[in-house]
Amino acid sequence: MPAPTDGFGYPDGALFYRRLDRRFPMAVAASGCWITDAAGRRYLDAAGGALVASVGHGREEIAREVAQAIASLGYVNGTQFSNPWAEQLAEQLAAVLPGDLRYCYFLASGSEAVEAAVKLARQVWVERARPGKWKVISRLPSYHGNTLTALSLSGREHYRRIYGPLLTDFPRVAAPDSYRDPDGPRSTGELLAAEIERQDPETVAAVLLEPIGGSSSGAVVPARAYFERVAEACRRHDVLLIADEVLCGLGRTGRWLAAQHFDLVPDVAVLGKGLNGGALPLSALAVRAGLVETLARGSGAFVHAQTYSHTPAICAAGLATLRILKREGLVERAAALEGRFFAALDRLRASRLVGDVRGKGLLAAVELVADRQTRAPFPRSARMAERLTALAFERGLIVWPNVGHVDGNEGDIVMLGPPLTVGEAEIDEIATRLGAALAALERG
């Protein structure tokens, strides 16, 4: 179809757009860290789309592997058959994951994988004859997905507000905050440990957390002591620890799991964005052997059904992505580039709008504040994260905004997570373009 001069959007055509109040350029090609639209304009993707395209855009190897799976086998149901791609992907993941995270269960989105992890925790305690354990403790801020249980456990209030009557009232505690409260009980793990006891450990099935903060908290890296305290409390009270690694896992922070930075082996690791190369919807639960053994000796199955779990095409996308990550050393490359990445981004601190730049590996957040001394956020009405994102886009730079992390309403962050293939010159260009956008935002 001919491209409108002002882009595509509602009420054109029949597409229900992700937003109904803006126009979209038509993307037609992508390679590496760059996306090209129908007008020939190129955009430097400093966010990997939505922190997804970890091995870079336009990977023909992934396309070939997926095409082979579709052409040779197509769809087979995981209750009736196994398939080569699911078997190989599980083996390849088990080889790089820490501890006894031995078994992988494949699904089609991070949200549904979080739902599955919660259901798995519940089923394990039922089959261990402790049915009173059902609560899952999560944190504020956090983000675990948009399906109802995942959203119930998320600490992203502007997503939750409209759906309040539909959500389960799980207990939530304040997450670590290295910028505003680095030494408080929320950042030492004492608050979470106390919450397990306050809820009565015999009712608590699991703790769900992001080892390194995602977009809701803005790449917060907790202290090692935080995880030592939380892990000890979970062990003492027989509470499962679920690590949501959908955003920070599979190399984004310079390790296969972000939990490895803290020598933490969770009972369940939820994988997603970095697993699929952005090609097809794919997520996974990586599960400790003892939990799978409980089900094997009991009911004989995980009571969870998804039409596309374990299917050939999605697992083929994951297998090709994992092959690239290993062959090109991209996990190690993210660690090696961390210094260069943050040195470039630290130049942004020259802006009076920037309160903090933080993160790990090739995951970063730039936090905007109204007052650098008090660290006071801008009022939500100022829409600073959205405005900065739009100004960056005008300059051919893609970043990922988030809001509300300070108190559920206020707080402005832009996230950066370029493909792990990003070059040093591209890192410098990201900082330059974002700096120009910040300067324009300062001018109003």
Q: What is the pLDDT of residues 251-283, one digit of tens each?
A: 999 999 999 999 999 999 999 999 999 999 999
Give the mean pLDDT of 316-329: 98
| pLDDT value at 305 more than 90 | no
Calculate the average pLDDT of the chain: 97
Structure-block tokens of residue 425: 């010159």
Residue keyed to tokens 């300070």: 406
Q: Encode pLDDT of 345-378 as tens digits.
A: 999 999 999 999 999 999 999 999 999 999 999 9
CATH number of 60-327: 3.40.640.10
Give the CATH H-level superfamily of domain 29-55+337-443: Aspartate Aminotransferase, domain 1 (3.90.1150.10)
Contact criterion met (CB below 8 Å) for 101 and 269 = yes
CA angle 269, 340, 95 (to 5 degrees): 30
Q: How far apart are CA 402 and CA 41, in angstroms?
A: 25
Give the mean pLDDT of 226-245: 98
Contact criterion met (CB below 8 Å) for 418 and 47 = yes
Residue keyed to tokens 């890192």: 427
- pLDDT recorded at residue 139: 98
Q: For the chain, give the percent of residues with pLDDT over 90.
A: 97
CATH 3.90.1150.10 residue ranges for the chain: 29-55+337-443
DSSP E strands in 300-393: the ranges are 354-360, 363-368
DSSP summary character for residue 88: H
Contact criterion met (CB below 8 Å) for 242 and 289 = no
| pLDDT value at 7 more than 90 | yes
CA distances for 417 relative to 43, 226, 390, 400, 420, angstroms: 14, 25, 17, 9, 8
| pLDDT value at 1 more than 70 | no
Q: How confident is the model at residue 3 (pLDDT cuts 50, 70, 90)?
A: low
**Helix (H) or strand (E) segment spanning residue 243:** strand 240-244
CATH 3.40.640.10 residue ranges for the chain: 60-327
Instruction: Report yes or no on whether pTM surpasses 0.95.
Output: yes
Dihedral sign (CA 7, 9, 12, 17): positive
| pLDDT value at 2 more than 80 | no
- pLDDT recorded at residue 265: 98
Structure-block tokens of residue 325: 């990550």
- pLDDT recorded at residue 235: 98
Cβ neighbourhood burial of 442 (10 Å; 0-12, 13-18, 19+) = exposed
Contact criterion met (CB below 8 Å) for 297 and 246 = no
Q: How far apart are the first and last CA of the chain?
A: 37
Task: Give Cα 375 to chain centroid, integer Å.
Answer: 26
Q: Encode pLDDT of 150-183 as tens digits.
A: 999 999 998 999 999 999 999 999 999 999 999 9
- pLDDT recorded at residue 376: 98
Q: For the chain, give the percent of residues with pLDDT over 70.
A: 99
- pLDDT recorded at residue 444: 86
CA angle 110, 321, 47 (to 5 degrees): 60
| pLDDT value at 216 more than 80 | yes
